[in-house]
Structure 1
Amino acid sequence: MDTLKKFIGYYKPYKNMFFMDMFCALTLSAIDLAFPMIVRYMLNDVYTNKTSDQIIKFVVLIGVALLAMYIIRYFCQYYITSWGHIMGAKMEADMRSDIFNHLQKLSFSYYDNNNTGKLMSRIITDLFDISELAHHGPEDLFISIIKILGSFIILMNINVKITSALFFLTMVMLYFSYFYNKKMKFIFMKNRQKIANVNAQIQDSLSGIRVVKSFSNEEVENSKFKKGNMEFLETKEAGYFIMGKFFSGNGFFQGILYLTVILLGGIFISMGEAKVSDLVIYILYINIFLNPIDKLVNFTEQFQKGITGFDRFLEIINTVPDIMDKPNAVELKEIKGEIEFNDVSFSYDDKSTILNNVNIKVNAGRNVALVGPSGGGKTTFCSLIPRFYEIDSGSIKIDGKDIRDIKLKSLRKVIGIVQQDVYMFSGTIKENIAYGKPGASDKEIIEAAKKANAHEFILNLEDGYDTFVGERGVKLSGGQKQRISIARAFLKNPPILILDEATSALDNESEKYIQKSLEELSKNRTTIVIAHRLSTIKNADEILVLTEDGIRESGTHEQLMHKKGIYASLYSLQFEQVS
């Protein structure tokens, strides 16, 4: 019931369209129910009790009335088919907007545990079935109930015994439908899960197509896809076997309804308890009666698909973001950029601790480098400052304010991040740079590109700033993508800057360009640098050596080399490798 309430809530903005749709459905049903009654009147009264002139007169009047009724029916059917579907599409768009907006609120930890391809399946495939249910569900159910009840009331007035027999058979059909509906709901849920797995496999394989081809592993990917595809096929086959029994069983019961009318009608006519015209009317009404039963059968399938999709939709919508603004959270203003870690501990999913009781103070405007062995928590350390993850204990402060007391949007606006793995959105170079400041002018974008040493290479491209970068920036080199990323950061102009191994994947020539750009970007900002190449951080104001046991060493390059500890060992090892 809670699921249905939430589903019904999406009708609220379109209640006028919904009620109009229901009114048209009611009118359409009433016209269909009226036709056999008109035929009965013609058979019993007009054709048998009237003169030829009167018959012609009545035929003309009834013909005009029927024409008017079917013109009204035309407009009602048009509204149901067009605006009814539009209402469903609008509700689908609202749901898609809600789920996308909610996904934007979820933290990194949610995406660490959920596959992007499966999420896309919920946004696209599931919502399409929900849209169909939103439109056809109430309408089909309403029309079916009106026609079935209307038919029974009319038929009860004609012959109680025949109608009672039909009512009993209908109850058996409804029980049959309920029994197989329960089976179909289970199989439809499995279908959703399996197609989501297939979508995830496709997304994963196509995203890594260059790696696939470089290792000649097309057969490996085909094998993985075939496994998921066959599992989906098996659940579809199981579903279709159940549907086969469901539809064929209902078809059998429909035949029994006709058989019952013919047998009982014949018996009662022979006994003088029914008229031949009544038998004709019964057959006409059974046609009207069977159509809503077909609609109910289709509705049950549609309902199971739609409500299963809506359940999966609610799974995401009901996921409470683990990182949210406090009710009294404040905006950051006039930032200096001081960062302080007080007894900070953190672990992923309550597993092994990554950071344990870390205490660090970075004064405003200082350039601090983080070094240490892989797995020591350097990237995690930096991810905690913008609250991409929530700490287990302790506190992180910016200018003396606990980041949990600051509005997330305000916090992240003052922090710029340049990562090793640069993400380029599908679009132009200009659009990718402007991501750092939506609505920036062309002059601001060009100025940011110049500061990032990107302006020259951009102008040498065929379409300059309007060059399409391709999916994930595939048309650009690593160094070019990195400079565009730095241009984004220049455009954002944040007082706090995090550089996460921004040059470790580049060749020496590209690194020179990037290093120069990063030095320019770091001026007059609090900067935290995660460095793989230790030669790039020799001039840092302070170097922190972070290991699994916390901060083991701190000082300038000269001080740490003099200590001959972990940093000196790492530096010497790199120097020997370079030599």
Structure 2
Amino acid sequence: MALAATVILIFATSAALGAVTLLTLIPTIALIAFFAGKLQPQWRKVHDLHGAMTTVIQENIAGVRVVKAFAKESAEVEKFRDRKDVFLGTLLGTVNYWAARVPFAQFIFGLALPLVLWTGGRQVIRGPLAIGDLAKVVFYLMAIGHRVGMVGQFTNIIQNASASGERILEIIREPQIIKSGQLDLPDVTLATTPLTPPGSESAEPAARGSSAPSEGSETGQGPLNRLGRVQFDHVSFNYYDGKASLTDVSFEANPGQTIAIVGATGSGKTTLVNLVPRFYDVSGGRVLVDGADVRELKLRQLRRSVSVIFQETFLFSASVAENIAYGRPDAPRKEIEECASAAQAHEFIMELEDGYDTLVGERGVTLSGGQKQRIAIARAFLMNPRILILDDATASVDSRTERLIQEAMRRLSVGRTAFIIAHRFSTVQHADQILVLKEGRIVERGRHDELIALGGVYGEIFEQQFSR
């Protein structure tokens, strides 16, 4: 606006001097706009190369033990140096591109001043233009020149920011594939009540929505015995177009049952359980929880009713207590400790420097794999879910701790449906039903003894494990 107003003032003073101003200003702005269009893709390339360079740093910090174990320090330094050289070369090329071209565009506008002095001087001599008006136009031109210089500087900054913004917007504009449904999970309050770990005498029946424990319920969770039914109805799934990861999978898990899923690597075990909390949507068929299609349920309620213990444990850079209470930040310390005891974690936690207030470091770097896994199990138990998913959750613990955890899981699973993925038969042999997957299909199902007697795929896997 100020630039246009200044040009209008020049025209009001002298049409000839206004024409001279426009003849130099328009090419200048056009060239800056042209160069700016060429500059933005170059800044995008600079940011991409910067990301590639910092990725090398991040990988080497996270994988420092692997780098040292294979004595690859020199190779990684060389890799970083190569990425750095490419990044700096591209950065300097981009800066030089702008530095060499913008002054040329500004030089064109710089011709306006001598042209105005020549044209205006002749008019002053002949009389149509007062010398004071010529001085005004000169000052107007100096103001426009200052703004043109600022445009050159800010255009570079804007194109740099635009390239950065593009990378952010790519994530923001990514379509949301998993959208929440509108149905409430049946009796969802029952799935978020406080946990009563094995051996605890502090259970309050009223908190369970029942005045007294049901008959046959070991932990007094009568109403929960009716919740947690999971049905797979001719489910198929594939990550990409092409070969399916799961094909025509059908089974039913009744409330309180433990379902073990076994099979070779890549057979679809983790994919199957990931469909229950809707980390992905099925390609065909339906997954139902308590009679409702998971795609129709409110996503937050569904996921809060399912606790997942992943194969790779992730802990936040916070205290032990905060990590256990991640799903329920308001949980009292007593419940946190009871859940840790149920997961066989209380003993080693108390041996830490500050007990439950000990900071575990980024990704739990100060803890062993087995310790991290037990904290993750305690975190899942605290959520008091109706469905438990354990994706090889006991892989990082020793045999003694595994037995203790299995006993705790069996008691905590009363009234809850549990899915267990494990490669150890000691973990799956007590399951109510075992599903054997092969290339995304259920090829066998039944209890441990039945499948061993069948002598099929499960029997082969069993023999291979115990013949080692």
TM-score, structure 1 as length reference:
0.70
Pair 1:353–1:494, CA change in 2 (3 A): same
- After superposition, residues 32-181 of structure 1 pair within 5 angstroms as 145-146=1-2, 148-181=3-36
- Number of residue-to-residue matches in the alignment: 431
Partner SS for 2:437 = strand
Give the counterpart of 2:458 among 552, 563, 567.
Answer: 567
C-alpha displacement of 1:508: 3.1
Give the counterpart of 1:500 among 382, 386, 391.
Answer: 391
Distance 1:226 1:516 in 2: 53
Structure ranking higher on relative contact order (CA contacts 8 Å, 6+ apart): 2
Q: Is this contact kept in 2: 1:486–1:518, CA < 8 A?
A: no
Partner residue, 1:294: 149
Indicate the larger mover: 566-575 or 484-493.
566-575
Distance 1:340 1:391 in 2: 13
Pair 1:514–1:224, CA change in 2 (3 A): farther
Q: Is this contact kept in 2: 1:426–1:473, CA < 8 A?
A: yes
Q: Is this contact kept in 2: 1:371–1:543, CA < 8 A?
A: yes
Distance 1:263 1:383 in 2: 79
Partner residue, 1:345: 236
Q: Is this contact kept in 1: 2:106–2:149, CA < 8 A?
A: no
Partner SS for 1:553 = strand
C-alpha displacement of 1:177: 1.4
Residue 524 in structure 1 maps to residue 415 in structure 2: yes
Q: Is this contact kept in 2: 1:451–1:520, CA < 8 A?
A: no
C-alpha displacement of 1:432: 0.2
Residue 196 in structure 1 maps to residue 51 in structure 2: yes
Q: Which amino acid aligns with 1:559?
A: E
Q: Which amino acid aligns with 1:571?
A: F
Partner residue, 1:418: 309
Partner residue, 1:118: none
Partner residue, 1:262: 117
Q: Is this contact kept in 1: 2:53–2:84, CA < 8 A?
A: yes
Q: How big is each residue's C-alpha offset from its partner over 1:232-259, in whole Å with a ceiling of 9 and x where there is no partner?
A: 3343233223202332213423432232
Distance 2:246 2:440 in 1: 8
Give the counterpart of 1:187 among 37, 42, 48.
Answer: 42
Partner residue, 1:280: 135
Q: Which amino acid aligns with 1:383?
A: N
Distance 2:111 2:42 in 1: 29
Indicate the larger mover: 508-517 or 429-438.
508-517
Distance 1:438 1:243 in 2: 52
Residue 325 in structure 1 maps to residue 216 in structure 2: no
Identical pairs, percent: 37
Q: Which amino acid aligns with 1:179?
A: F
Partner residue, 2:261: 370
Pair 1:295–1:332, CA change in 2 (3 A): farther
Indicate the larger mover: 510-519 or 494-503.
510-519
C-alpha displacement of 1:279: 4.0
- After superposition, residues 507-518 of structure 1 pair within 5 angstroms as 507-518=398-409
Q: Which amino acid aligns with 2:282?
A: I
C-alpha displacement of 1:314: 3.0
C-alpha displacement of 1:322: 1.3
C-alpha displacement of 1:170: 0.7
Q: How big is each residue's C-alpha offset from its partner over 1:208-239, in whole Å with a ceiling of 9 and x where there is no partner?
A: 22322222222333343334333333432332
Q: How big is each residue's C-alpha offset from its partner over 1:453-487, in whole Å with a ceiling of 9 and x where there is no partner?
A: 22221121111111110110010111211111111
Residue 218 in structure 1 maps to residue 109 in structure 2: no
Partner SS for 1:293 = helix
Distance 2:22 2:76 in 1: 56
Partner residue, 1:312: 167
CA RMSD across the alignment: 2.2
Residue 556 in structure 1 maps to residue 411 in structure 2: no
Distance 2:55 2:397 in 1: 31
- After superposition, residues 391-540 of structure 1 pair within 5 angstroms as 391-540=282-431
> Structure 2 unaligned runs (5+)?
191-223
Q: How big is each residue's C-alpha offset from its partner over 1:368-418, in whole Å with a ceiling of 9 and x where there is no partner?
A: 211111111111111111111111101111122111111111111111111
Distance 1:184 1:158 in 2: 37
Q: How big is each residue's C-alpha offset from its partner over 1:504-558, in whole Å with a ceiling of 9 and x where there is no partner?
A: 2333344344434433433332111111111222222222211115112222222
Q: Is this contact kept in 2: 1:482–1:514, CA < 8 A?
A: no
C-alpha displacement of 1:154: 2.5
Q: Which amino acid aligns with 1:303?
A: I
Partner residue, 2:105: 250
Distance 1:365 1:318 in 2: 41
Partner SS for 1:350 = coil
Q: Is this contact kept in 1: 2:344–2:401, CA < 8 A?
A: no
Distance 1:186 1:479 in 2: 48
Q: Which amino acid aligns with 2:48?
A: Q
Q: Which amino acid aligns with 1:541?
A: D
Q: How big is each residue's C-alpha offset from its partner over 1:28-79, in whole Å with a ceiling of 9 and x where there is no partner?
A: xxxxxxxxxxxxxxxxxxxxxxxxxxxxxxxxxxxxxxxxxxxxxxxxxxxx
Pair 1:476–1:315, CA change in 2 (3 A): same
C-alpha displacement of 1:153: 2.7
Give the counterpart of 2:158 among 285, 292, 303.
Answer: 303
Q: Is this contact kept in 2: 1:188–1:305, CA < 8 A?
A: yes
Q: Which amino acid aligns with 1:192?
A: H
Residue 380 in structure 1 maps to residue 271 in structure 2: yes
C-alpha displacement of 1:445: 1.5
C-alpha displacement of 1:419: 2.1
Moved over 6 A (4+): none
Q: Is this contact kept in 1: 2:25–2:109, CA < 8 A?
A: no
Distance 1:472 1:385 in 2: 26
Distance 1:551 1:166 in 2: 80
Distance 2:183 2:254 in 1: 24
Q: Which amino acid aligns with 1:329?
A: L
Q: Is this contact kept in 1: 2:186–2:290, CA < 8 A?
A: no
Q: Is this contact kept in 2: 1:420–1:505, CA < 8 A?
A: no
Distance 1:549 1:155 in 2: 77
Q: Which protein is richer in helix relative to its size?
A: 1
Partner SS for 2:370 = helix
Q: Which amino acid aligns with 2:246?
A: L
Indicate the larger mover: 226-235 or 158-167.
226-235
C-alpha displacement of 1:199: 3.5
Distance 2:337 2:396 in 1: 26
Partner SS for 1:348 = coil
Indicate the larger mover: 400-409 or 257-266.
257-266
